[in-house]
Structure 1
Amino acid sequence: MAGRPRAFDREQVLRRARDAFWARGYEGTSMSDLVEAMGIASASIYAAFGSKEALFHEAVADYDAHEGGFAARALAEEPTARDAIRRMLVDAATLFTQRGNPRGCMVVLSAPKCAKQNEAVAEWLSSQRRARHAVILRRLQKARESGEIRPDADPEMLADFYTTFLQGLSIQARDGFPRKRIMKTIDSAMLIFEAVMPHLAQ
């Protein structure tokens, strides 16, 4: 006999949980917060997702598959590294300040530091941020190999800079900086890339 079907849309309640974690962080989101946000009982949350931590992992995966995948999409889809880096930053500023969404990046702001019992969550998020850095680095290494940037350019330094800048945009957005002001900083950030383009070599 088939099991009784769930009385809720799993994808829909996952999205609600994602937004709660995105807005308040991992530790700042209690089970009672999740019950209220998801509209289902705590027993149903545990039955469907296993634990708060497992639910959080799924919520971050949903974020990365949709809104939070902006960096990977920009780096994969744009024909040049310069266009890819600029689009990544513009898309980040747009997402982080988008009305109707929590401000900032879920992966950057959800758990920069945690209580001892939640250190595994903080370390897992750190690994997610390192993975994004690795994707940026690979695109910049490819740019050097293809001649988009000069042979003496340092892809690792550039990746470090743009990763740091990207995370800074998230914090500025969470602190209430308006989109127009954040966007203005992107032109300055792109000067770093333009300085290592071949046509500027002396």
Structure 2
Amino acid sequence: MSRVREFDTDEVVQKAMEVFWRKGYEATSIQDLAEATGLGRGSLYAAFGSKHGLYEHALQRYVQLTTDATRVSLMQRVPVRQVVRDLLLGRIDDALKEPGRPGCLLVMAITERVPHDEVTHRIVRDAIAALQDSFFGTLHLARSMGELPPETDIPAVSNFLVTMIQGLRVMSAVCRDKAMLAQVVDTALLVIPQ
């Protein structure tokens, strides 16, 4: 008879996500994960198969949390430029509020794992697509309500804003100057036609 799991999988994945976010995949040991989650190595391997299996769950959790937060932010009933500005400034605030955290787990996955890890590449690709879809929907609605000119290239603007978010995450990891980053956001908003 097999033993019943005596832990909350969501809580374990959340704690593991924090470790991977703080240290990155390569620098995180299974011992780090065991200490953070309070589980033994054997329990972690039994539940997730490997360090990479736990990483996949942690990255998917991060993507879900950030995707949900982005969708909520983009659904605000204010002019589209304000919605986008608030979202981008919010990403800066999130990045700067924890000095020990090196930025965005998704960006870390892109630079650390995507070049040689197909599963991580798929998770990241799907996350980027979801972000593009969120911007596309918001911009399309704004255009239908007359906030944007009919000729607005919504896919191009959406792709630019997705790239902008990732760039802000990278810059906020190395530049802690909120005023400078806010100026970059204001410059980026010029791409949204009036």
Give the TM-score normalised by the residue count of structure 2.
0.83
Seen in structure 2, the aligned counterparts of structure 1 residues 44 and 93 have a Cα distance that, compared at 3 Å, is: same
| Distance of 1:115 and 1:83 partners within structure 2 | 33
- Give the distance between the partners of 1:51 and 1:33, measured in 2 at CA: 13
* Separation in structure 2 between the aligned mates of residue 186 and residue 23 of structure 1, nearest angstrom: 25
2:161 aligned partner: 162
Correspondence for 2:39: 40
Aligned to 1:182: 181
Q: Which runs of 5+ in 2 are unaligned?
A: none
Deviation of residue 74 (structure 1)? 0.9
> Which structure would you say has the larger RCO, counting Cα contacts within 8 Å and 6 or more residues apart?
2
- When the two structures are aligned, how many residues end up with a matched partner? 194
CA RMSD of aligned residues (A): 2.7
| Residue equivalent to 1:88 | 87
> Which residue matches 2:17?
18
How far apart are 1:168 and its partner, in Å? Answer: 0.5
State how far apart, in whole Å, the 2-side matches of 1:151 and 1:159 are: 15
Which SS does the other structure have where 2:45 is aligned?
Answer: helix
Whether the 8 Å CA contact 1:75–1:136 is kept in 2: the answer is yes
Distance 2:92 2:168 in 1: 7
Amino acid corresponding to residue 180 of structure 1 in structure 2: A
What CA distance in whole angstroms lies between the structure 2 residues aligned with 1:190 and 1:112?
A: 26
Aligned twin of 1:200: none
What fraction of aligned residue pairs are identical, expressed as a percent?
Answer: 27
Cα deviation for residue 100 of structure 1 reads: 6.3
Q: Hey, what's the Cα distance between the residues in 2 that align with 1:126 and 1:11? A: 23
Q: Is the 8 A contact 2:14 2:58 kept in 1?
A: yes
Which residue identity lines up with residue 184 of structure 1 in the other structure? Q
TM-score, normalising length: structure 1: 0.80
Partners of 2:8 and 2:132 in 1: CA distance: 34
Amino acid aligned to 2:123: W
Residues 38-74 of structure 1 show CA distances to partners (whole Å, capped at 9, x for unaligned) of: 2321111123334333322332343244456432211
Aligned AA (1:122): H
Contact 2:25 2:55 in 1 (8 A): yes
**For structure 1, which segment, 64-73 or 10-19, has the greater mean C-alpha deviation from structure 2 after superposition?**
64-73
